[in-house]
A and B are shown apart, each in its own frame.
Chain A
Amino acid sequence: MPPIDVDATVIANRRLSRDYNVLTLSAAAVGARTRPGQFVMVRPARMTDTLLRRPFSVFEILRDANGAPTAITLLNKRAGRTTNRLYEAEPGERMACLGPLGKPYTPVAAPQEAWMVAGGVGLAPFATLAESLASQGTRARLFYGARSDQELFYLDLFERLGVTLIVTTEDGSRGERGRVTAPLDRALGSRAPGTTMIYACGPEPMLAAVAGVAERHRQRCEVSVERTMGCGLGGCYSCVIKVRDGATPPHFVRSCISGPVFNGAEIVWD
C-alpha cells in the first residue's frame, strides 16, 4: 500500500516541557494503517524557507468509542527549525503528513516477553507498540531513560497498559541514576536466552549499547534508528546506515526503506 499525504489540521498541541510537546494531527487515514515502529514525514503546509519534511514516529493512534482511528499524535523535541515550528504550532494550523513509512517492529507473542528500551524522545514509537502488545496479551516492560524527572513523560499511559516500568535519570531525580542499559543488563541476567524481544529507540550510543547487551544475553533486539532524512521514500540516499547482513561486506542501506527498524546485531555502529 502506498503512503498517503494528508493535509492535516493541528487539533491540539500539548507542551510537556521547554523542549518536548505532543502534537495531535487529524491524520486518521494514516493512523488507520500505521503499525508500531512506522513513521510519518511532516512539514508545515504553509510555505516556509525550510523545505524538507522531518520524520516522526507515530506516537499514539487516537480512536473513537468504536475503536476507529480519529487522529495521530507525534512526540516532538525541539532540535532544528522544523521541530521548533512544530513546538510552537497552534491548533488550526495545517501540516502535510505523509505516511505510514518504513518497516515496523516485528511483533512477538507470549510466552515471549517484549522489553522496550527508550532514551529521551526515543519513547516515541512505544505507545503504539505497548498498545499492540497489550491487545495481544504479551507481557511487556519499558526501560525508560531521560535526563531528569522533568523529561519522563506518559508513564501513566504505559502503566494503564500493564507495562512494567523501570526508569533511570542522568541526574538521579527519579529512578536509578545513570544509563538505562544498567538495569536492562541486570534484568536480562535472569532470562533464558531467546525468551525476550528487546525493542530499542533513542540516541545511537544507547542503541549500540542495548544491542551489545542483548547479544551478550542472547536475546533478539530490534532498534529504531534516526539518521538525517531527506525524503522518507528511498529517493535521496541521505539517511544511510552501515549494516552487515548475510554474505555481503558491510554496506550502506537507506534507513527510511530498509528501516527505520533494524536487527540490532546487523548494524555496524560507528
Chain B
Amino acid sequence: MARDLSVRIGTLALPNPLIAASGCFGYGLEYEEVADLSALGGVCVKGLFMTEREGHPPPRIVETPSGMINAIGLQGIGVHRFVEEKLPRLRERGARVFVNVCGSTIDEYVEVSRVLTEAEGVAAIELNISCPNIKEGGIQFGCSLIGTAQVVSAVRKATHLPVIPKLTPNVTDVASFARAAEDSGADAVSLVNTFLAMVIDVETRRPTLTNVLGGLSGPAIRPIAVRMVWECAREVKIPVIGMGGITDARDALEFMLAGATAVQIGTANFVDPFVWTKVLAGLDDYMARHEIEHLSDIIGAFDPTPPTPVHA
C-alpha cells in the first residue's frame, strides 16, 4: 500500500508535513549537503526585514534542561539579498520556501511581503509577530489582538501568497490570537514561537545572555505547545502548523492528533541534522502499524476520552 504523507495548507500542497522551523535552518542552503531540501514538506527560512540586521552580541544561546534559550536578535541579510543570493538556489533544489517575514512597523511587513510576492519561488509567508528578542516590532504586534489583526490584514491585501502568522505563546489565551488571525484573512497559523525565559549565572549574579532574556525551545516546552495547538485547532477552521520541541515521529504525531496539519522542527535539527529522514521513516512506520493510508486522516483525530481511571 502506497502511504500518502501529503498535507494541504490552503492552496499549498506539501508532500509531507515536516517543515524546517525559521531560525533553526539558516537560509536552507546551509543544509543542502546533509538534507534533501525537496524531500522536506517545506523550508522556513530565517526571519527577514527590509535591510540587513546585525543581531545581538554573543553569547546568544544557553542550554537548559531539555531545551535551550536563544537571543540571536534576528541577524539577517535583508529581503533583497535573500531574493538575489539565496532564493534562486533554493528553487533549484526544489525546496518549498516559506519565508519568515519581520517588521518594525506594519508598513515594513507589507513591503517585505511585496518583495517576496514579486520574486519567483516563494511558497508562503510566515509573519513573525512573535520574536521575543527584539525591541521594536515582532512580539509587540503578536501580544495584541488589534496588532495581530492589523499586521495580518495589511499583508493579506499585499499578497496572493498564503499568509501564516506565527503566534507567540507568551499570552494568556493563544486561541483568541488564532481567531484574530483567521478573522483578518490568514490562511493558517503557526505556533508556538519560543517562551520568554532567562538564566542567571549565580557566580556572577549576572545574566548568561547579553540580551538578558531569550526564547526557550526544545522538548522542555513540548507539552505546553501541544496544549496550545489543541486550543487553537478547536478555535479556528484554517490549518494550524504546530511546533515546539519535536524530536521524533511520535512527537510530530502528537501535534497532528491535537489538530496540526503540518509541523515544524527546529531545535532538534541542531542536535541532529539528519532528523528529517528519521522522522519521515517513523511516520511511515506508524502509518503501517495503524493501517493509515493518508496521514492527513489523523489531523485532529485526538480522542479526548480520559483514560480509564486506575483503581488501587
Partners in one complex: yes
B270 touches A237 (CB 8 A): no
Using CB atoms, name the residue of chain B closest to A96: B272
Contacts of B271 in A (CB 8 A): 43, 51-53
Category for how many chain B residues contact A: 20 to 34
In the complex, are the beta carbons of A240 and B30 less than 8 A apart?
A: no
Q: Which residues of A contact B62 (CB under 8 A)?
A: 228
| Docked pose: A252 CA to B33 CA in angstroms | 24
Instruction: Give 1 or 0 for each of A225-237: 1 = CB within 8 Å of chain B CB.
Output: 0011011011111
What string of 1s and 0s marks CB contacts (under 8 Å) between A199-239 and chain B?
00000000000000000000000000001101101111111
Closest to B269 in A: A235
Report B231-257 CB contacts with A as 1/0, cut-off 8 Å.
000000000000000000000000000
Nearest-Cβ distance from residue B268 to partner chain A, whole angstroms:
8
A51-B67, A51-B219, A252-B75 known; A235+B61 contact, CB < 8 A: no
Inter-chain CA distance A43–B33, complex, in Å, is: 21
Give residues 261-276 of B contacting A (CB, 8 Å). 267, 269-274
Looking at B52-60, B170-178, B279-287, the stretch in contact with chain A turns out to be B52-60
Contact of B63 among A5, A81, A98, A240 (CB under 8 A): A81
Inter-chain contact A257/B58, CB cutoff 8 Å: no
- CA–CA, A143 to B65, complex, Å? 39
Instruction: Say how far A99's CB is from chain B's closest CB, in angstroms.
Output: 12
- Nearest chain B CB to A184 CB, angstrom units: 27
List, in ascending order, chain A residues with CB within 8 A of B46's CB.
237
Interface string of B48-79 (1 = CB under 8 A from A): 00000011001111110111101010010000
Structural contact, A52 and B270, CB atoms closer than 8 A: yes
- A237 in contact with B274 (CB, 8 Å): no
Question: Do B60 and A237 have beta carbons less than 8 Å apart?
Answer: yes
Contact B61 A236 (CB under 8 A): yes
Per-position contact with B for A45-82: 1 when CB-CB < 8 Å, else 0? 00001111100000000000000000000000000110
- The answer to whether B273 touches A236, judged by C-beta atoms less than 8 angstroms apart, is no
Q: For A80, what are the chain B residues with a Cβ–Cβ distance below 8 Å? A: 63
Q: Which A residues are CB-close (under 8 A) to B310?
A: none
Q: Which of A51, A98, A240 has the most CB of B within 10 A?
A: A51
Q: Which of B24, B55, B270 has the most CB of A within 10 A?
A: B270
Question: When A51-B68, A51-B219, A252-B55 are in contact, do A235 and B30 touch as well, CB less than 8 Å?
Answer: yes
Tell me which of A3, A53, A238 has the highest count of chain B C-beta atoms within 10 A of its own C-beta: A238
* Distance (whole angstroms) from the CB of B188 to the closest CB of chain A: 24
Tell me if B59 and A5 are in contact (CB < 8 A): no
- Residues of chain A within 8 A of B23, CB atoms compared: 236-237
User: Size class of A's contact patch?
Assistant: 20 to 34
Q: A231-B273, A233-B30, A235-B30 are in contact. Are A240 and B60 (CB under 8 A)?
A: yes
Q: Which of A1, A81, A233, A239 has the most CB of B within 10 A?
A: A233
- What residues of B have a CB within 8 angstroms of the CB of A239 in the complex? 58
Q: Bound complex: CA of A227 vs CA of B210, how far in Å?
A: 14
Bound form: Cα–Cα A49–B60 in Å: 20
B218 interface residue (CB < 8 Å to A): yes
Check if B269 sits within 8 Å of A2, measured CB to CB: no
A246 to chain B, nearest CB (A): 15
Q: Does A14 sit at the interface, judged by CB under 8 A?
A: no
Q: Check if B15 is an interface residue, CB within 8 A of chain A.
A: no
Q: A49-B65, A230-B70, A235-B25 are in contact. List 11 more A-B contacts (CB 8 A).
A: A49-B66, A51-B68, A51-B219, A51-B267, A52-B63, A228-B61, A231-B269, A237-B75, A238-B58, A239-B58, A240-B60
Residues of B within 8 A of A (CB): 23-26, 30-31, 33-34, 46, 54-55, 58-63, 65-68, 70, 72, 75, 218-219, 267, 269-274
19 contacts between A and B (CB under 8 A): A2-B33, A5-B272, A5-B273, A5-B274, A43-B271, A49-B65, A51-B267, A52-B68, A52-B270, A96-B272, A227-B58, A228-B60, A230-B70, A233-B26, A233-B31, A235-B24, A238-B58, A238-B61, A241-B58
